[in-house]
């Protein structure tokens, strides 16, 4: 069995490409990297890679991560500027024994030394969006942070290996140096080939409060189906945050186990996700909201 699940509709082209390769025996790590790069390279996805949304200084700072579910190796970069494919830099970092998570200048220096492609990731379209939104925010008192999405993916290959990867520009108009859940293992992603994996999108600050990707994997390890694990973890964190803080930010999760069974849960309307398995052609669905 091979399978792949990803947050949002924006992942479907990458998932479709990667699944054609998984069918031919591609490794789960290569598949997830290929699919995330596809999203990073597409200029019209506003919150990932090229064309990503800028921070409050109008700079595109990107977060990305990669995890190998066989070895539990993790690599991550955060706040990296001017590199084309942060997911590939994160994957390369996962090969090392130490220094697996690099931020800002350190990440850029590493990427440069290791031959990764430099690229100005701020597009004219993103600049226009920034200017428009800044004005609206000032004029109408809107939240500058609205309108952000992360691509997170979990893959399973024919050999039973599972991998996870994420990539995002994070919250629109975030403070310079702000890091979200997507680069943090346990919060934005987690995968263990002996169980399954999960990955998140939504308000990083709140997703971190529940280490929610790890929590879903933990529930699957107890024997829960990915759907049940997602429902429990999302509704519990949503309820805890409401009880303690009066409200919860956006929490949306997808999960896949090592049998190719999947699940999804969200506390927002309109959360789309992309999924494909050996038995199911690549499809985009919209999740129902947990209560």
Active site residues: 150
Establish if 202 lies at the interface with ligand SD4 (CB under 6 A).
yes
* Contact stretch for ligand SD4 (CB under 6 A) within 66-74, 82-90, 195-203, 262-270: 195-203
Establish if 14 lies at the interface with ligand SD4 (CB under 6 A).
no
Helix (H) or strand (E) holding 68: strand 62-68
Establish if 148 lies at the interface with ligand SD4 (CB under 6 A).
yes
Q: Work out the burial of residue 41: count CB atoms within 10 Å of its CB; fewer than 13 is exposed, 13-18 middle, 19 or more buried.
A: middle
Euclidean distance between CA atoms 44 and 188, whole angstroms? 23
Provide the CA 91 distance to its chain's centre, in angstroms.
Answer: 14
- For the bound state, the minimum distance from the C-beta of residue 151 to ligand SD4, rounded and expressed in Å, comes to 9
Euclidean distance between CA atoms 193 and 71, whole angstroms? 9
Q: Work out the burial of residue 115: count CB atoms within 10 Å of its CB; fewer than 13 is exposed, 13-18 middle, 19 or more buried.
A: exposed
Task: Work out which of 100, 167, 168, 272 binds ligand SD4, going by CB under 6 A.
Answer: 168
C-alpha separations of 284 from 12, 192, 241, 274 in Å: 7, 25, 29, 5
Of 73 and 150, nearer to ligand SD4 (C-beta) is 150
> What six digits make up the tokens of 2?
């091979």
C-alpha separations of 245 from 85, 242, 289, 291 in Å: 36, 5, 20, 18
- For the bound state, the minimum distance from the C-beta of residue 194 to ligand SD4, rounded and expressed in Å, comes to 26
* Contact stretch for ligand SD4 (CB under 6 A) within 11-19, 30-38, 201-209, 214-222: 201-209
- For the bound state, the minimum distance from the C-beta of residue 214 to ligand SD4, rounded and expressed in Å, comes to 15
- For the bound state, the minimum distance from the C-beta of residue 271 to ligand SD4, rounded and expressed in Å, comes to 9
Establish if 199 lies at the interface with ligand SD4 (CB under 6 A).
no
Under 8 Å CB-to-CB from 71, ≥6 apart: which residues?
none
Task: Work out which of 94, 150, 155, 199 binds ligand SD4, going by CB under 6 A.
Answer: 150
Task: Work out which of 181, 215, 231, 238 binds ligand SD4, going by CB under 6 A.
Answer: 181
> What six digits make up the tokens of 237?
């964190």
Task: Work out which of 51, 54, 69, 170 binds ligand SD4, going by CB under 6 A.
Answer: 170
Establish if 79 lies at the interface with ligand SD4 (CB under 6 A).
no
Residues that bind ligand SD4 (CB under 6 A): 148-150, 168, 170-171, 180-182, 201-204
Q: Which residues are annotated as a binding site?
A: 178-181, 201-204
């Amino acid at each position: 069995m091979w399978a792949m699940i990803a947050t949002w509709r924006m992942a479907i082209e990458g998932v479709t490409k990667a699944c054609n390769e998984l069918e031919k025996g591609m490794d789960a790590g290569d598949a997830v990297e290929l699919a995330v790069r596809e999203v990073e390279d597409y200029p019209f996805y506003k919150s990932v890679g090229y064309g990503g949304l800028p921070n409050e200084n109008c700079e595109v700072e990107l977060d990305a991560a990669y995890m190998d579910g066989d070895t539990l190796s993790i690599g991550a970069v955060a706040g990296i500027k001017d590199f084309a494919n942060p997911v590939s830099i994160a994957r390369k970092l996962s090969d090392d024994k130490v220094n697996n998570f690099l931020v800002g200048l350190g990440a850029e220096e590493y990427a440069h030394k290791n031959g990764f492609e430099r690229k100005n990731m701020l597009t004219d379209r993103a600049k226009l969006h920034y200017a428009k939104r800044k004005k609206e925010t000032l004029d109408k008192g809107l939240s500058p942070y609205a309108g952000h999405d992360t691509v997170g993916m979990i893959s399973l290959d024919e050999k039973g290996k599972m991998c996870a990867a994420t990539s995002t520009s994070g919250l629109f108009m975030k403070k310079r140096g702000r890091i979200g859940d997507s680069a943090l293992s346990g919060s934005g992603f987690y995968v263990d080939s002996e169980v399954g994996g999960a990955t998140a999108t939504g308000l990083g600050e709140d997703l971190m409060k529940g280490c929610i990707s790890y929590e879903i994997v933990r529930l699957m390890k107890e024997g829960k189906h990915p759907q049940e694990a997602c429902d429990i973890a999302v509704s519990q964190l949503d309820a805890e945050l409401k009880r303690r803080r009066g409200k919860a930010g956006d929490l949306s999760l997808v999960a896949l186990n090592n049998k190719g069974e999947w699940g999804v849960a969200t506390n927002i309307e309109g959360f789309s996700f992309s999924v494909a398995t050996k038995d199911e052609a690549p499809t985009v669905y919209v999740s129902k909201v947990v209560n």
